[in-house]
Amino acid sequence: MKDSKIIDVARRANVSVATVSRVLNASHLVSPKTKEKVLKAIEEMNYTPNALAKNLRSRKTMTLGVVVSDILVAYYAEIIKGIENTANSLQYKILICDAQNQKEKEQEYMSLLMNRTVDGMILVTPKLSNKEIAAYADNGYTIGLIGRFIDHPNIPCAYTDNVKMAKEVVNHLIGQGHEKIAFLSGYADAIDSYERLEGYMKALRDAGMPFIPDLIENGNFNEEGGYAAFKRLKEKNIDFTAVFAANDEMALGVYKACRELSIEIPRQMAVVGVDNNRITKYVTPKMSTVEQPKYTMGALLAEKLIDQMNDNAFSDKRAFKVDSKLLIRESSLSS
């Protein structure tokens, strides 16, 4: 039952605990008939090894922690799938941690790493600073990063080129004839926001178009934020005909604001988001957005991190910059 232990099995099979352990761990150093006896005893007693004892002794848990900002956001859920499937195929389990957008929760979850509950951690767009993250790595903990890059010899990263992505989006809008393009950024302190803004500016510069600071607003990466930001833009009374929102949620907020203000998308206002949330295909008009290889990033990083934990052979390649893809749909198409 629930509380039989290795010594009970040993007694029942008339062998030592060492032998039972050998059977459990598929050692070749045990004769077929002994093995059979032991297996029979295990079966009869319904014995399952205590993972805590095992992990304590072996000093590993074969578990990877994954910290995401919000498990409700599909972006994270898909990354998790990538990590999980790869990890499982390499005999690792994953422990999913929902930081609920709070930095303190992230930190709490990091303690799982420090107290040996997990062998490594994958942080997906964490709020922790580069310095804080690097400190963990410097102390010998195994950490990987998704959706962000830190230049540190022990921290593998998988991320998209936000600058390039944003440039592509803005170029597309310019190509559609837009000259005044607003940008909705996410949290002011999020690297993604910053980089996307950078790409936005570069695209304008390359096209010889002026950068108008008033066309930048912050929308906190969520729907309400996007809604409010768009209203603020409108109140400024500056003309603009397109909005590039740093994610789909904010773009959805723009949709809502436009509906209220009777602004027709895309005829009067072009809109592009980022993430390819499933919803973008269901809204009217269908939303143009950017697809990032979420599953792939998860899978790539999980493999890399597990590799690193096992042979300590840090291959030089630890930065995986993957390509994103602009999906042009109705919301940004001039007729």
- The reply on whether position 207 binds DNA by CB under 7 A is no
Token digits for 153? 């010899």
Residues 46-75, one symbol each (x = binds DNA by CB under 7 A, - = not), give --xxx--xx-xxxx----------------
Rounded Cα distance, 227 and 218, in Å:
10
105: enclosing H helix or E strand: helix 103-114
Number of residues that bind DNA (CB under 7 A): 31
Which residues ranging from 10 to 39 are in contact with DNA (CB under 7 A)?
Answer: 14-22, 24-25, 28-31, 33-35
- The reply on whether position 91 binds a second copy by CB under 8 A is no
Rounded Cα distance, 133 and 211, in Å:
34
Q: Are 123 and 64 in contact (CB under 8 A)?
A: no
Residues 5-44, one symbol each (x = binds a second copy by CB under 8 A, - = not), give ----------------------------------------
Which residues ranging from 61 to 80 are in contact with a second copy (CB under 8 A)?
Answer: 61, 71-72, 74, 77-78, 80
- Among residues 28, 33, 278, 317, the one that binds a second copy under rule CB under 8 A: 278
Which amino acid type is present at position 276? N
- Among residues 31, 91, 139, 262, the one that binds a second copy under rule CB under 8 A: 139
Considering CB distances under 5 to 8 angstroms, the limit depending on partner class, which of DNA, a second copy, none binds residue 15? DNA
Degrees to nearest 5, angle at CA 283 with 277 and 286 = 85
159: enclosing H helix or E strand: strand 157-160
- Looking at the Cβ atoms of 18 and 261, the one nearer to DNA is 18
Query: In terms of Cα–Cα distance, which of 242, 310, 241, 322 is closest to 79?
Result: 322
Query: In terms of Cα–Cα distance, which of 5, 27, 28 is closest to 17?
Result: 5
Rounded Cα distance, 43 and 51, in Å:
18
Token digits for 230? 């768009």
- Among residues 84, 119, 192, 217, the one that binds a second copy under rule CB under 8 A: 84
252: enclosing H helix or E strand: helix 248-260
- The reply on whether position 102 binds DNA by CB under 7 A is no
Rg (CA), the chain: 26
- The reply on whether position 88 binds DNA by CB under 7 A is no
CB of 43 to DNA, least distance (A): 15
- The reply on whether position 100 binds DNA by CB under 7 A is no
Chain residues in the site for a second copy (CB under 8 A): 1-3, 46, 48-53, 55-56, 61, 71-72, 74, 77-78, 80-81, 84, 93, 95-98, 100, 111-112, 114-117, 139-141, 252, 278-279, 282-284
